[in-house]
């Protein structure tokens, strides 16, 4: 991974502004700080204004594991493209596919509540129902390692078997065949006839974008990580406004 804020790399970023480029952002840990209570995640006023300003120059998207309804509660400015549930929402998924996903998640939830040892639910493990996928959070657990193992054990025995995406203190369960963020970004580009993209995210779920074999997708990770497939990194979430200002500078 290379540092984003380096003059050579910024030149590549600048070149994106000369062509039609989609600027896509993950939400948690990227536009907003990671917080203990996912419901309390906020996007700062400045970040919000910068997101809005960028959208006057180029197509902008937020691609998240959260549901669209949830994202809209947190975004003061809602860009044209809001993709939720890792790509299941916001890209025109067929209603019958969504209905099946909803039913599967409801069944999974009942099974998990029945079989996850009660000690975990009592000690901070939370099931977030995102309607078309589930997120099992263990950030607040007092025994994180055990909680994670117990969640993975139950999840791998669910029927149908979920697509699991591990994130920061969270296990995401998606219906089989559901897209991931990489599929979502490519689909969004296709649907809008856009050939270049900028994408920034902070978590394992974003690796599905980082590992796309497309030289016209410029990828940035929040935080340097040796094993990440992202091309560039910024040090921490608080640098997100600097990222926006840098991009906006190329349009002014």
Binding site for Mg ion (CB under 5 A): 26, 28-29, 202-203
Choice between 59 and 201, CB closer to Mg ion: 201
Tell me how far, at minimum, the Cβ of 228 lies from Mg ion, in Å. 13
Tell me how far, at minimum, the Cβ of 154 lies from Mg ion, in Å. 24
Tell me how far, at minimum, the Cβ of 21 lies from Mg ion, in Å. 21
DSSP 14: H
Longest CA–CA separation in the chain, Å:
57
Tell me how far apart the alpha carbons of residues 32 and 47 are, in angstroms, rounded to a whole number. 9
Choice between 202 and 207, CB closer to Mg ion: 202
Choice between 124 and 223, CB closer to Mg ion: 223
Tell me how far, at minimum, the Cβ of 85 lies from Mg ion, in Å. 14
Choice between 148 and 221, CB closer to Mg ion: 221
What does each C-alpha distance from 244 to 22, 65, 163 come to in angstroms? 13, 22, 33
CB atoms within 10 A of CB 221: 26
C-beta of residue 171 within 8 angstroms of C-beta of residue 135: yes
Q: Where are the beta strands (DSSP E) in the chain?
A: 2-3, 21-25, 60-63, 81-83, 126-129, 134-137, 163-167, 170-174, 196-201, 217-222, 232-234
Q: In a 10 Å sphere around its CB, with 0-12 CB exposed, 13-18 middle and 19+ buried, how is residue 175 labelled?
A: buried
Tell me how far, at minimum, the Cβ of 31 lies from Mg ion, in Å. 9
Residue 183: strand, helix, or coil: helix
CA-based nearest residue to 202, from 3, 30, 66, 5: 30
Residue 129: strand, helix, or coil: strand
Choice between 196 and 205, CB closer to Mg ion: 205
Tell me how far, at minimum, the Cβ of 223 lies from Mg ion, in Å. 10
Position closest to Mg ion via CB: 29
Choice between 89 and 154, CB closer to Mg ion: 89
């Amino acid at each position: 991974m290379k540092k984003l804020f380096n003059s050579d790399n910024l030149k590549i970023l600048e070149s994106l502004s000369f062509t039609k480029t989609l600027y896509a952002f993950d939400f948690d840990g990227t536009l907003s700080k990671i917080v203990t209570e996912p419901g309390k995640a906020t996007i700062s006023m400045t970040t919000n204004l910068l997101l809005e300003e960028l959208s006057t120059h180029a197509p902008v998207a937020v691609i998240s594991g959260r549901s669209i309804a949830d994202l809209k509660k947190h975004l003061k400015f809602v860009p044209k493209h809001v993709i939720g549930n890792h790509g299941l929402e916001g890209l025109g998924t067929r209603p019958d596919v969504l209905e099946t996903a909803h039913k599967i998640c409801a069944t999974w939830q009942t099974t998990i509540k029945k079989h996850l040892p009660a000690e975990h639910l009592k000690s901070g493990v939370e099931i977030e129902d995102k309607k078309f996928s589930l997120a099992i959070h263990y950030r607040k657990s007092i025994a994180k390692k055990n909680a994670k193992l117990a969640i993975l054990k139950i999840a791998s025995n669910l029927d149908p078997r979920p697509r699991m995406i591990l994130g920061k203190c969270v296990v995401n369960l998606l219906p089989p065949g559901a897209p991931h963020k990489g599929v979502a970004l490519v689909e969004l580009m296709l649907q809008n006839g856009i050939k270049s993209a900028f994408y920034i995210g902070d978590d394992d779920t974003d690796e599905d974008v980082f590992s796309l074999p497309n030289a016209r997708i410029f990828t940035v990770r929040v935080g340097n990580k040796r094993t990440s497939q992202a091309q560039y990194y910024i040090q921490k979430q608080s640098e997100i406004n600097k990222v926006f200002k840098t991009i906006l500078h190329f349009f002014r």
